[in-house]
Structure 1
Amino acid sequence: MSRRAPTAVLLVALSAVLGAGACGPGGVIQPGTRVITSVDAARTNSTDVKAGTERTGPALSALASLPVKGRAPKTRYARSQFGPAWSDDVTLDGGHNGCDTRSDVLRRDLQRVVLKPRTRGCVPASGVLADPYTGTRILFVRGLRTSSAVQVDHVVALSDAWQKGAQKLTATRRRELANDPLNLLAAAGRANMSKGDGDAATWLPPNRTFRCAYVARQVAVKAKYDLWMTAAEKVAVANVLASCPGQSLPTATGSAVPAPLL
């Protein structure tokens, strides 16, 4: 096999993910489809793209199954459509454990956690975050002026979800989406505010080494909750996964929150 063969294989795999929208007549890749440039493909180790698409990983496979549609109107969107913020009333990991979801995620993601007294082992008073979005370490100190340094991000933003299928979910299912540890990560407040309700087409973590895991988590959440992607979003996700075609999907077990630290 020539040295250029892996590139061709990767183009085939990515064309399958993107669907016909990325290709012209006869399967020719249309100009402007960033994910399939020879430069991007050349970065992929040949051991990751052996014969055919046998090394296409779970994230790319799941991405291929997600439907592509335009955004639905944002009409009637409100945070309250997803239930009370950080509700413990969910049948998910961490649900009904007596702690709010935000505290559950902070206990999971912070290091060197010190708990606030008399909170039933729920609420972190301080800790250190190895922030996945920026690749920096951030001190968390609970307080009116300091808590915002570390925020809990909905990896698939609720507004984005609303415009891509969540309007059709039941109220219970939307509450689960908003409180599912799979869809939640502690992150630098500034990075989270910069993201807003953006999808992968408009925002990716500044920390490039985390981008594969980040988009894989978005794919996992959208697959779990029957949400769709826009064409631009799917291209952006495929572009990231082109550098890590064997990327796995996060699991509920791997995202589990710890029990209250009594």
Structure 2
Amino acid sequence: MKKVYARRRLSILAVLTGLIASAALFNSPSASAALPTPVSAATARSYLSQLTVATENRTGYSRSLFPHWITISGTCNTRETVLKRDGSNVVTDSSCAATSGSWYSPYDGATWTAASDLDIDHLVPLAEAWDSGASKWTTAQRQAFANDLTRPQLIAVTDNVNQAKGDQDPATWVPSRSAYVCTYVRAWVQVKYYYDLSVDSAEKTALTNYLTSC
């Protein structure tokens, strides 16, 4: 009888262990996850109407004031987490570096098989955030912004496309792939609204025009 109870206890422990492991995998940042979907066009239009319009000021900006990439889980930092999230069949080594996989860049429609061909774009650039309110934040707040995996703020894209974008806002730059422009501007407004960042007049005009067509 004792052996039967012992076997039952072992069986229950095995099930519990399996459930815990499954939960850990599900909740782990390194597990497969989708890029956050931006708010609807109607919500973006509502958000945009509530944003403060102000002249931008870049005085004192330095990229180093936005600490990134931080450790997200184990040996994986923010860049590596986004690469795994946004790629297909991504394989990583013991240091969490992507050794193989496939990545589709929604900005230009290109597909890449080497992680070195991808940049992680801050959709609302760090300099743009600084210009529109982040200069008043604490370092901890700027770190949270620079590593935000919850809002549609970080995305893996073709490196030279990201470099061409630089710190431009939608008044002067949107993705060349027209099918993604609506998604891009909705995400832009969502991020600015969440972080209570301002827009300049040209930026608001461009966002308003793009959202009208969404």
* TM-score bracket for the superposition, by shorter chain length: 0.7 to 0.9
Query: Displacement of 1:70 after TM fit?
Result: 0.5
Measured after TM superposition, the shift of residue 57 of structure 1 is 1.1
Question: If the length of structure 1 is used for normalisation, what is the TM-score?
Answer: 0.63
- What is the CA-CA distance between 1:126 and the residue it aligns to? 2.0
Q: Which amino acid aligns with 1:219?
A: V
Aligned pair partner of 2:63 in 72, 79, 83: 79
Residue by residue over 1:194-215, the C-alpha shift from the partner in whole angstroms, topping out at 9 and shown as x without a partner, is: 1000001111000010011111
State whether structure 2 residue 128 is matched by structure 1 residue 157. no
Which of 104, 112, 115 is 2:92 aligned to?
115
**Counterpart in 2 of 1:139?**
113
CA displacement, residues 117-175 of structure 1 (integer Å, 9 cap, x when unaligned):
x22xx32112211111001212224xxxxx1x211000000011101100011111110
Partner of 1:104: 81
Of Structure 1 and Structure 2, the greater helix share is in 2
Q: Which residue of 1 aligns with 2:139?
A: 171
Which runs of 5 or more residues in structure 1 are unaligned?
1-54, 89-94, 142-146, 245-262
Paired position in structure 2 for 1:217:
187
Larger radius of gyration: 2
CA distance in 2, matches of 1:138, 1:114: 14
Q: Which amino acid aligns with 2:156?
A: A
For 1:99 and 1:115, locate their aligned partners in 2 and report how far apart those are by CA, in whole Å. 10
Query: TM-score scaled to structure 2, two decimals?
Result: 0.77
Secondary structure of the structure 2 residue equivalent to 1:156: coil
Structure 2: runs of 5 or more not aligned? 1-39
Alignment RMSD, CA only? 1.6
| 3-state SS, counterpart of residue 241 of structure 1 | helix
Q: In the alignment, which residue of structure 2 is the partner of 1:233? A: 203
Residue in structure 2 matched with residue 127 of structure 1 by the alignment: 101
1:205 paired to 2:178: no
Q: Distance in 1 between matches of 2:41 and 2:187?
A: 17
Cα deviation digits, residues 64-94 of structure 1 (max 9, x gap) = 111110111x2221111112x2113xxxxxx
CA distance in 1, matches of 2:137, 2:148: 15
4+ aligned runs moved over 3 Å, structure 1:
95-98
Task: Give 1 or 2: higher strand fraction.
Answer: 2
The letter for the 2-side match of 1:58 is T
SS at match of 1:106: helix
